[in-house]
Structure 1
Amino acid sequence: MEEKLLDWEDNSENLPFKTHMLAGSCAGVVEHSISFPFDTIKTFAQAESTRSASYWDIAKLMKNEGFIKMWRGVSTVILGCVPAHAAYFSIYEYSKRHFQIESNKDFYFFSTAITGILATSSHDIIITPMDVIKQRIQLNRVKGPLGMLKHVVGNEGIISLYRSLPITLIMNMPQAVLFMTFYENFKSQLYPDGNVSMYGFFTCAGVSAALAAGLTTPLDVIKTRLQTQRETCPSCGTKFMQSQGNLSKPRYGNIQNAISLIYLEDGLRGFLRGMVPRMMFFLPGAAVSWSVYEHVKSLLL
């Protein structure tokens, strides 16, 4: 068994990129399907203001809607995560080969930072419109991604699908840098011989993702406010981010405006909303995603 694992590690670098794309797509689908309820809870926690909501309201939502409804919008993100994860893991493998990132006793910083930025940028450009639709569905009763897409574009214009792209990139780039640096260095220090087990991939990825997610929560709060304004919580009757006066004008028009309003309404604690469910979403998500990715690679090899 040990010999097979070593052969897989030695030959995995010679796999064609279509293999990495297929393995990455499988990893993305499994990741989002399993951890999606935590993402729904995070969305509700971050979209609320302190004057109208609490985690008690979210518990009431789960009771009234049912646990199955915590997967509302999962089909949308699956459609987006297939090409997004295919691009992510392909660029990850290319950068890893280029920078010669290997499992040994060395520490990596610059190379893992660049790798994380390149991979996550390609991923976010593809996934952001789908993420907007997904979060709107999580907060609304509109049925299906197509219906929500028509609703959002018809009322707010196509720009609404990309309004959060700048903050998404600003948020995910440091998160990707932190994750990739933690992940590759954990592997290099814990498995200096390069023989990383599936348990090793699972653990290193999960811990790295949780740490990176917790440190970048404030940026995720801003992104969620930009993406979910004007939506309604169906079970508790709460209005999310209503516009002031002119309905065609979003309440959170840009990043600076969102920061000011969040601080005005919630104070500094407003930027930490959803930290625990966010970490709980990324921990199993990354652990499953990366271990599935490596496992599928080994099967295709």
Structure 2
Amino acid sequence: MPEVIQEVDYEGLSTDSLAINMLAGSLAGISEHAVMFPVDMIKTRMQVLTTSPTAAYASMSEAYTRISSTEGTRRLWRGVASVILGAGPAHAVYFGMYELAKELAGGNDNGYSFVATAGAGAAATITSDALMNPFDVVKQRMQAHGSQFRTVAETFRTVYRTEGLAAFYVSYPTTLTMTVPFTAVQFSTYEFIKDRINPLNTYSPMTHVTAGGIAGAVAAAVTTPLDVCKTLLQTRGLSDDAAIRNARGLGDAFRIIYSRHGLAGFARGMTPRVLTNMPSNALCWLSYEGFRFFLKGGHNKPPPPVVAVNP
């Protein structure tokens, strides 16, 4: 009796369009950053190196209380416009590139693949960070204690006039040093957990929230030291410390932080960073998968058809 071989009919498979992935990613990025912005503000304040007692915070609760009472709760949202303007196109490129690279690397075939997922995540963050980095610089300049910047346009003009175009990209190599491993860990963890608890890969809000939250927390904790260095470089123009103002890259930032605070200095802001990334990543993946699901028509993709072949 001839053996029956189960062969997948690949011609019958439907592929999500790049436009849908990019639109869903854009909407997800805006949702994520807007909702979690106040916590990100507190994280930035806690990471900035300063000699002023009024600008130093020992905990998240202290930072929130002092900012709210002395500067008003609206201060927690200053700079959010910069994030929204940058997050839309950056996340469109981010998720569009991720899905495209993962497909080309074979990451959608035969279940979870660490190499394909991590590689696609790295490609996604390199391209999206090139768009997002200037907006991130503007955001952190507006978030810093004592900042006089009121609008995104004013901040862009002032930074460009006083420090030049390089100010928007001085932290880009450090950002990539952080975000490439962050994204590789985050995407790999997300896809691994999703594959284990939802092997059919159907739309499942609980799956996306759970996998996204865990992935965000793990990636944030691992890359916090690099985030502290990035914050120093992006806010150097506001410092009255000559060493910080003249910092030119990751090596300078690392030496300054270590000389002032030792190894503990690289954990500054870890708690708010993890608490920011856990819910924001959960929200981002929930939004992305949800927007993509409904943009496709609101139908879970059925399992690939199987054709019996008799050799």
Deviations 1:154-203 (A, max 9, x none): 11111101000000000000111110110111011111232351111111
Q: Residues 251 and 285 of structure 1: is their aligned pair in 2 closer, same or farther, counting only changes over 3 Å?
A: same
| Counterpart selection for 1:207 from 180, 205, 214 | 214
Contact 1:24 1:89 survives alignment (8 Å): yes
| Counterpart selection for 1:93 from 79, 90, 99 | 99
Distance (Å, rounded) in 2 between the aligned partners of 1:154 and 1:102: 47
- The answer to whether 1:78 aligns with 2:50 is no
- Paired residue for 1:30? 31
Distance (Å, rounded) in 1 between the aligned partners of 2:225 and 2:164: 27
* Aligned residues between the structures: 278
- Paired residue for 1:244? 242
Identity of aligned pairs, percent? Answer: 36
Contact 1:133 1:145 survives alignment (8 Å): yes
Deviations 1:59-115 (A, max 9, x none): 3123212222211100011101111000011111112222333497x5532111101
Q: Residues 103 and 27 of structure 1: is their aligned pair in 2 closer, same or farther, counting only changes over 3 Å?
A: farther
Deviations 1:18-74 (A, max 9, x none): 111111111011001101111101100111347742236623123212222211100
Please, which moves more after superposition, 264-273 or 15-24?
A: 15-24
- Correspondence list, 1:156-195, <5 A: 156-195=163-202
Q: TM-score, normalised by structure 1?
A: 0.87
4+ aligned runs moved over 6 Å, structure 1: none
- Paired residue for 2:21? 20
Contact 1:210 1:280 survives alignment (8 Å): yes
| Greater gyration radius | 2
Q: Residues 154 and 12 of structure 1: is their aligned pair in 2 closer, same or farther, counting only changes over 3 Å?
A: farther
Contact 2:94 2:128 survives alignment (8 Å): yes
- 3-state DSSP of counterpart to 2:242: coil
Distance (Å, rounded) in 2 between the aligned partners of 1:18 and 1:134: 28
- 3-state DSSP of counterpart to 1:48: coil
Contact 2:174 2:249 survives alignment (8 Å): no
Displacement of 1:218 in angstroms is 0.1
- Paired residue for 2:302? none
Q: TM-score, normalised by structure 2?
A: 0.84
Distance (Å, rounded) in 2 between the aligned partners of 1:129 and 1:44: 19
The alignment's C-alpha RMSD in Å is 2.1
- Paired residue for 2:134? 129
Contact 1:103 1:191 survives alignment (8 Å): no
Deviations 1:197-250 (A, max 9, x none): 11111110111011100110000000000000142xxxxxxxxx32429xxx93
- The answer to whether 1:216 aligns with 2:211 is no
Contact 1:40 1:70 survives alignment (8 Å): yes
Deviations 1:130-172 (A, max 9, x none): 1000100111121101101111111111110100000000000
Distance (Å, rounded) in 1 between the aligned partners of 2:24 and 2:105: 21
Distance (Å, rounded) in 2 between the aligned partners of 1:208 and 1:50: 35
Distance (Å, rounded) in 2 between the aligned partners of 1:41 and 1:265: 21
- Paired residue for 1:197? 204
Q: What are the ranges of 5 or more consecutive residues in structure 2 without an aligned counterpart?
A: 1-11, 297-311
Contact 1:50 1:266 survives alignment (8 Å): no
- 3-state DSSP of counterpart to 1:267: helix
Deviations 1:242-270 (A, max 9, x none): 2429xxx9332222111111111111111
Q: What are the ranges of 5 or more consecutive residues in structure 1 without an aligned counterpart?
A: 1-10, 232-240
Distance (Å, rounded) in 2 between the aligned partners of 1:51 and 1:67: 21
Distance (Å, rounded) in 1 between the aligned partners of 2:13 and 2:31: 21
| Counterpart selection for 1:276 from 271, 278, 283 | 271
Letter in 1 for 2:42: I
- Correspondence list, 1:102-113, <5 A: 102=108, 107-113=112-118
Distance (Å, rounded) in 1 between the aligned partners of 2:194 and 2:118: 16
- 3-state DSSP of counterpart to 2:225: helix
Distance (Å, rounded) in 2 between the aligned partners of 1:101 and 1:110: 8
Q: Residues 183 and 24 of structure 1: is their aligned pair in 2 closer, same or farther, counting only changes over 3 Å?
A: same
Q: Residues 176 and 263 of structure 1: is their aligned pair in 2 closer, same or farther, counting only changes over 3 Å?
A: same
Displacement of 1:119 in angstroms is 0.7
